[in-house]
Structure 1
Amino acid sequence: MSNQQSKIKLVQIIADSDLSGGPRHVLGLLSSINRSKFECFLICPNGNLSREAKEISRLEVINIEMSSKFDLVAMSSINKILSQIQSQNNPFGPMIVHTHGTRAGFLGRMSLPKGVLSVYTEHRWDADYHLENRINEWLQLYWLKRLNQKTHLIIAVSNSVRDFLINRKLAPDARIRVIHNGIDLQNAKSKMQKAKNSKGNHFIIGNVGNLNHQKGHEYLIEAMPEILEHYPHAMLEIIGEGEERKNLESKIQDLKLERHVTLLGKQVDPMSFMAKWDLFVLPSVAETFGIVVLEAMSQKLPVVATQVGGVPDIIKHNKNGILVSPHSPESIAEATIELLSRPAKMEQLARNASDRVKDFDWKKIVSKVEREYLELI
């Protein structure tokens, strides 16, 4: 048997085309996985993820648009491609299809050929996350439960996700594993070394996140007037784009914060901005993990974050960051003002955060995923 024939065929499927949490997780996984053991494929829509993935050696990228969970054309195309991958080289060898997120999880798992091992990563659902339409929410969770019953391995990106799946009986307990998201520490370190001297004379508070309800930006903006009473030259920079942009712009105008709050939109390299920030604040009301927290910690930034979802898996209060209540501008302002007034504490939190983030190095995370793959064979 040839070396190529002895490899495990591994297909990742994701419906997102941007480079937010889930896609970045997939990109990191594909960049670091052991190519001597796995023959890798990626099925995803055309977009930023696809373009980045095509730079990875020994990876075949197949573009399929997935407009909805019930996209029958996409389902048929995925089934056809999976069948072709299964039949090539060693047709009776092991093949794993790893789907990510609700849409790809539905389309991919409904399209599986016989004899294929199914892995699903839940990136979104925990007790804090809800859809505006509760009927749609019920339907999503109903199908999630049905498909999880036929899935060989379910990966939860945080303890909050695992607890939600178990408490709502959405997946068999014995098939769930908690494997956190990771970060490319070497890349993060190089960015810090290149730009760490660019800090200005005034405090800059930063945030990165899609502009949607779950990210809670309005609470961070509402905290600024109190922060400015103590630090009148403080600035807030928010990187990200989304449907809440107009509402946030109106809030900034209503609070007369135009000179102090800047919405920077999408940026190709958010970590290059972090190098000039003094403090990172995560005001999310739902956050199943928080890769952006790891990125901030890797840049030796002290972090204030809401105690939601998977954030406490990363931050230990008063040791490597500060945890505050969600939905509370007052809590955000109080923690921010305290830290800005105590530079020694900020430095200590930043050092501890830099040490903590080493536990989430992609090499360690991918090693855990590979072990789970191999146990399925």
Structure 2
Amino acid sequence: MLSCDANVFVSKSTLETMEELLQARIPNSHYIYNTFNAGEILKKAAESLTSSLEKEIMARENLMVSVGRLCHAKGYDMLIQVHAELMNEGVFHHIAVVGDGTDFQKLQKMIRRLGVQDSFFLLGSRLNPYPYMLAAKCYIQPSRYEAYPLAVGEALILNKPLISTIAGGIPELIIHRKTGLLCQFNKNALKRTISEMLYNPHLRRDIRKHQREFDAEKIYCQINTLMEELLLR
């Protein structure tokens, strides 16, 4: 890192974490968020689903969608527990997760054990997750750990009300109660946040209004500016 012209990180929190681990300031450090091709995302989101079963799932009431690897870091085990508890308390909703991973079988067993197989769905990996995200009432990110999740930025582009735990660079993407809702990684906090998002249409409307200010092009400008500075040295 000492010999590099620039050390670029995907978020401010990632840079700070690395400096904390090294117990030193990293020279020539920058953070530039991951880029998004908004036009391509919107184009792919308009594609139709081919499976009749998936069409039926995506049409369900109070549907939340998440996209990510099925692993411990992503927090889907807690999300399943939260979902089951909310259903038992009369907060009816559905959740579909797009993605695969080492915890697939473990999570599937948990879903069956808690009796929520008719309302919590593991759809597996999909080349194009955007039609699923677009069909949802809101997008949910229940992560334990994160760097800078692309799916959250993609949900902003798709103008989906967002729920996320506070992890990694997520608070740099979501402004609490403006472009989404943030909560701590624990069951009670996530339960309260889901309930508020589902049953407060005025909040969802305001969030979607503020999300329209998200400008993916600013990230490209940051990259171009950094490259120009390096070339002029």
| Secondary structure in structure 2 of the residue aligned to 1:305 | strand
Q: What is the aligned partner in structure 1 of residue 51 from structure 2?
A: none
- Whether the 8 Å contact between 2:9 and 2:31 is mirrored in structure 1 is yes
- Counterpart selection for 1:287 from 141, 146, 150: 146
Partner of residue 111, structure 2: 252
Contact 1:205-1:281 within 8 A present in 2 as well: yes
**1:173 aligned partner:** 26
1:282 is displaced (CA, Å) by: 0.4
Q: Which TM-score applies when normalising by structure 1?
A: 0.55
* Residue range with higher mean Cα deviation, 168-177 or 220-229: 168-177
Distance of aligned partners of 1:249 and 1:201 in 2 relative to their CA distance in 1, 3 Å threshold: closer
Which segment drifts farther, 265-274 or 170-179? 170-179
Instruction: Give the corresponding residue for 2:182.
Output: 323
The residue number in structure 2 matching 1:344 is 202
Letter in 2 for 1:285: R
Matches within 5 A, 1:335-374: 335-356=193-214, 358=215, 361=216, 363-374=217-228
Poorly superposed stretches of 4+, deviation over 4 Å:
191-195
**Alpha-carbon separation, structure 1, partners of 2:221 and 2:156:** 22
Change beyond 3 A, Cα 1:337–1:352: same
The one of the two structures with greater contact order (alpha-carbon pairs below 8 A, sep at least 6) is 2
1:287–1:310 contact (8 Å) kept in structure 2: yes
Q: What amino acid does structure 2 have at the position aligned with 1:369?
A: I
Aligned residue in 1 for 2:101: 242
Within a 5 Å distance, the mapping from 1:214-233 to structure 2 comes to: 214-228=73-87, 229-232=89-92
Partner of 2:191: 333
Deviations 1:139-190 (A, max 9, x none): xxxxxxxxx2232211111110111222333675331001011211112333
Question: CA, structure 1 residues 266+171, in 2 after alignment: closer, same or farther (shift >3 Å)?
Answer: farther
- Native 8 Å contact 1:210 1:242 kept in 2: yes
Residues 201/283 of structure 1: CA separation in 2 closer, same or farther (3 Å cut): closer
Judge which range, 257-266 or 182-191, deviates more. Answer: 182-191
* C-alpha distance in 2 between matches for 1:184 and 1:170: 36
Matched, 1:274 2:138: no
Q: CA deviation at 1:330?
A: 2.0
Q: 5+ residue gaps in structure 2?
A: 49-54
Q: Shift of the alpha carbon at 1:193?
A: 5.5
Matched-pair identity in %: 23
1:265 and 2:124 are equivalent in the alignment: yes
After superposition, give the CA deviation of every residue in 1:240-292 in whole Å (9 maximum; x if it has no partner). 11111111111111111111111111001101111211111100011111110
Partners of 2:44 and 2:128 within 8 A in 1 = no
Any conservation in 1 of the 2:7–2:27 contact (CA below 8 Å)?
no
Q: Contact conserved, 1:230 with 1:337, CA < 8 A, in 2?
A: no
Stretches of structure 1 that go unaligned for 5 or more consecutive residues are 1-147
Q: TM-score, normalised by structure 2?
A: 0.87
- One-letter amino acid of the structure 2 residue matched with residue 213 of structure 1: H
